[in-house]
Amino acid sequence: MASNIWVLAETWRGQVTETTLELLTLGREVAGQSGSQLEAVLLGDKSLAASLGAADNVLCAANVEPTPEAVAAALAQLVKERQPQAVLVPWTNLSMDAGALAAAQLNVPFVNGCKDLKSDAGTLVAQCVVYGGKLEAAVSATTASTLFGVLPGSRSAASPGNAPTVTDVAVTLPEAKVKFTKYLEPEAGGVDITQQDVLIAVGRGIQTQDNMELANDLAAALGGAVCGSRPVIDQGWLPLSCQVGKSGMQVKPKLYIMLGISGAPEHIEGIKGAQVVVAVNTDAAAPVFNASHYGINADLFEVVPALTEAVKAKKG
Amino acid sequence: MNILVLLKMVPDVVEELEVAGDGKSLDTSFLRTIINERDDHALEQAILLKERHGGKVTVVALDAPDIDDTLFATMAKGADRAVKITDAPEGMTTQMAAKLCGQVVAGLLPADLVLTGVQALDDLDGLSAALVAQQLNFPYIGVVTAVTAGGPTATVLKEFAGGVRGEFAVTLPAVLGVQAAEKPPRYVPVAKVRAVMKTNKIETVSAPGDAGAAQIEVRQLAKPVVSSHAEMLEGSPEEAAGKLVELLAQRGLL
Classify strands B153-159 and B165-171 as parallel, antiparallel or unpaired.
antiparallel
Q: How close B201 comes to chain A (CA, Å)?
A: 31
| Contact indicator for A151, A269 with CB cutoff of 8 Å | yes
| Contact indicator for A154, A116 with CB cutoff of 8 Å | yes
Considering chain A, tell me which residue range(s) the CATH 3.40.50.1220 domain(s) occupy: 193-315
Q: Distance between CA atoms of B55 and A94, rounded to whole angstroms? A: 32
Task: List Cβ neighbours of A296 (8 Å cut-off, separation of 6 or more).
Answer: A278, A279, A280, A281, A303, B232, B233, B237, B240, B241, B244
Binding-face residues of A in 114-173 toward B, CB within 8 A: 125, 128-143, 146
Higher pLDDT, B241 or B209: B241
Taking Cα atoms as reference points, which of A192, A191, A188, A215 lies closest to residue A202? A215
As a whole number, mean pLDDT of residues B80-91 equals: 96
Residue A1 pLDDT exceeds 60: no
Look at residue B249 and tell me if it is in a domain.
no
pLDDT tens, residue by residue, A230-260? 999 999 999 988 999 988 999 999 999 999 9
Chain B residues within an 8 Å CB radius of A177: 139, 170-171, 174
Contact A296 B241 (CB under 8 A): yes
| Nearest residue in chain A measured CA to CA from B246 | A314
pLDDT tens, residue by residue, A180-189? 999 999 877 6
pLDDT tens, residue by residue, A98-149? 999 999 999 999 999 999 999 998 899 999 999 999 999 999 999 999 999 9
Residue A213 pLDDT exceeds 90: yes
Q: How far apart are the first and last CA of chain A?
A: 69
pLDDT at B236: 96
Residue A165 pLDDT exceeds 60: yes
CA angle A42, A48, A54 (to 5 degrees): 75
As a whole number, mean pLDDT of residues A63-87 equals: 96
Lowest mean pLDDT segment, chosen from A59-68, A76-85, B197-206: A59-68
| Contact indicator for A18, A11 with CB cutoff of 8 Å | no
Residue A2 pLDDT exceeds 70: no
Residue A196 pLDDT exceeds 90: yes
B44 burial via Cβ count (<10 Å: 0-12, 13-18, 19+): buried
Higher pLDDT, B77 or A239: B77
B164 burial via Cβ count (<10 Å: 0-12, 13-18, 19+): middle
The DSSP symbol for B26 reads B
pLDDT tens, residue by residue, B115-163? 999 999 999 999 999 999 999 999 999 999 999 998 899 999 999 988 8
The three-class DSSP label of residue B116 is: strand
Which residue out of A75, A105, A112 would a mutagenesis test of the B interface target, given it has the greatest number of B Cβ atoms within 10 Å?
A: A112
By percentage, how much of chain B surpasses pLDDT 70? 100
Mean pLDDT computed over every residue of chain B: 96
What's the domain range around B104?
A: 2-206
The architecture in CATH of the region A5-168 reads: 3-Layer(aba) Sandwich (3.40)
Contact B163 A240 (CB under 8 A): yes
Nearest to B140 among A97, A137, A298 (CB): A97
pLDDT tens, residue by residue, A51-69? 999 999 999 999 899 999 9
Look at residue B253 and tell me if it is in a domain.
no
pLDDT at B210: 87
Mean pLDDT computed over every residue of chain A: 95
Chain A residues within an 8 Å CB radius of B172: none
- DSSP output for A68-110: HHHHHHHHHHHHHHH--SEEEEE-STTTHHHHHHHHHHHT--E
Look at residue B220 and tell me if it is in a domain.
no
Asked if A254 reaches chain B (Cβ–Cβ under 8 Å), the answer is: yes
The DSSP symbol for B76 reads H
Predicted confidence band of residue B70 (pLDDT cuts 50, 70, 90): very high
Q: How many CB atoms lie within 10 A of CB B128?
A: 29
Chain B residues within an 8 Å CB radius of A112: 119, 123-127
How remote is the C-alpha of B136 from its chain's centroid? 20
How remote is the C-alpha of B239 from its chain's centroid? 40
Q: Distance between CA atoms of A8 and A242, rounded to whole angstroms? A: 30
Predicted confidence band of residue A152 (pLDDT cuts 50, 70, 90): very high
The DSSP symbol for B241 reads H
pLDDT at A190: 76
Asked if A295 reaches chain B (Cβ–Cβ under 8 Å), the answer is: yes
pLDDT at A163: 85
Look at residue B82 and tell me if it is in a domain.
yes
Look at residue B235 and tell me if it is in a domain.
no
Q: How close A15 comes to chain B (CA, Å)?
A: 14
CA angle B91, B95, B98 (to 5 degrees): 95
Q: Domain of B88: which CATH number?
A: 3.40.50.620
ipTM of this complex: 0.95
Look at residue B129 and tell me if it is in a domain.
yes
Higher pLDDT, A163 or B194: B194
The three-class DSSP label of residue B243 is: helix
- DSSP output for A113-163: EEEEEEEETTEEEEEEEEGGGTEEEEEEESSSSEEEEE-TTSSPPPP--SP
Q: Strand runs (DSSP E) across A185-310, as ranges? A: 198-202, 225-228, 255-259, 276-280, 294-296
Residue B3 pLDDT exceeds 60: yes
Binding-face residues of A in 179-238 toward B, CB within 8 A: 179-186, 198, 222, 230-231, 233-236
By percentage, how much of chain A surpasses pLDDT 70? 99
Q: How close B102 comes to chain A (CA, Å)?
A: 12
Considering chain A, tell me which residue range(s) the CATH 3.40.50.620 domain(s) occupy: 5-168
As a whole number, mean pLDDT of residues A180-205 equals: 91
Domain A193-315 has CATH 3.40.1160.10: no
Q: How close A39 comes to chain B (CA, Å)?
A: 23
Phi-psi region of B137 (alpha: psi -120 to 50; beta: other; left: phi over 0): left
The DSSP symbol for B150 reads B
Asked if A11 reaches chain B (Cβ–Cβ under 8 Å), the answer is: no
Name the residue type at position B235: G
Name the residue type at position B160: F
Q: Distance between CA atoms of A222 and A251, rounded to whole angstroms? A: 17
Look at residue B230 and tell me if it is in a domain.
no
Domain count, chain B: 1
